[in-house]
């Protein structure tokens, strides 16, 4: 089977919703042993139920990725990691002069420190095996900048830089590290954002946001998950230190 992950242990953060959930479900369908990490324990149960109903193997862990002690405990419990997908992340709306210190630090702690904490714990386990694959979720915000996304763009630029550093530092250990940069993807976050900021105009604003991308729509979590699957599979064994935009033409085709 092409893109098979049979017998590979895959750790996925942010696995309870959106892109992370789609990755967990897809990886399980490709025979991976999925270790799903998220802060939301109730939502993790829903993911577990879906995977098990489809014959997959999954273990769930409620964890705050900003807490290195929690991450250490869970990764130590998992013990063997072939694949790490750093999907946990949050967004924020604001520019440099209206973003509070608290919001800036909150975004940094989840999107940057959270990735670091997982890298810090997974890489030693991969070094022991002299093999491993790491996939980080960056964003087009980290390379082209987005209006009113100052803290978020900062955090995703850091994810991109960490990806390059890890790829270079651990290539001799057989560890590959890449990232992907999605544009706007239709996740529960988008629905919550519209409900909070545009009550009564959700459909109108959803259409506007969709058409702001050259392809004329938002991406879907399963579409993003398919690219992640390829980059984490043995078929992508010659790829490391790369960022892959998956953006409906947003970088190259946007006027």
Facing residues of 38 across strands?
62
Of 152, 173, 198, 244, which residue is the catalytic one?
152
Q: Is 223 exposed, middle or buried (0-12, 13-18, 19+ CB in 10 A)?
A: middle
- Answer yes or no: are the C-beta atoms of 83 and 132 closer than 8 Å: yes
Residue 9, both tokens: 């242990």
CA 219 vs CA 68, 153, 182: distances in Å: 32, 19, 8
Is residue 140 a contact partner of residue 251, using CB atoms and an 8 Å limit? yes
160 is catalytic: no
24/204 Cα distance (integer angstroms)? 31
Active-site positions?
152
């Amino acid at each position: 089977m092409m893109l098979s992950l049979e017998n590979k242990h895959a750790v996925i953060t942010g696995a309870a919703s959106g892109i992370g959930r789609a990755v967990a479900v897809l990886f399980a369908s490709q025979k991976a042993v999925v270790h799903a990490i998220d802060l939301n324990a109730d939502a993790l149960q829903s993911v577990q139920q879906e995977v098990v109903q489809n014959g997959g193997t999954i273990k769930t862990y409620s964890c705050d990725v900003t807490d290195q002690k929690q991450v250490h405990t869970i990764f130590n419990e998992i013990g063997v990691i072939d694949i790490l997908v750093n999907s946990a992340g949050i967004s924020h709306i604001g520019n440099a002069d209206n973003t509070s210190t608290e919001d800036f630090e909150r975004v940094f702690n989840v999107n940057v420190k959270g990735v670091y904490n997982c890298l810090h714990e997974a890489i030693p386990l991969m070094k022991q095996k002299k093999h491993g694959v790491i996939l980080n979720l960056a964003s087009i915000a980290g390379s082209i900048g987005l209006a009113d996304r100052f803290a978020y763009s900062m955090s995703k630029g850091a994810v991109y830089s960490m990806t390059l550093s890890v790829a270079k530092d651990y290539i001799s250990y057989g560890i590959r590290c890449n990232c992907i940069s999605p544009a706007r993807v239709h996740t529960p976050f988008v629905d919550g954002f519209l409900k909070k900021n545009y009550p009564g105009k959700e459909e109108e604003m959803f259409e506007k946001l969709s058409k702001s991308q050259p392809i004329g729509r938002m991406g879907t979590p399963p579409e993003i998950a398919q690219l992640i699957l390829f980059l984490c599979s043995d078929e992508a064994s010659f790829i490391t230190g790369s960022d892959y935009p998956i953006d409906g033409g947003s970088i190259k085709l946007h006027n």
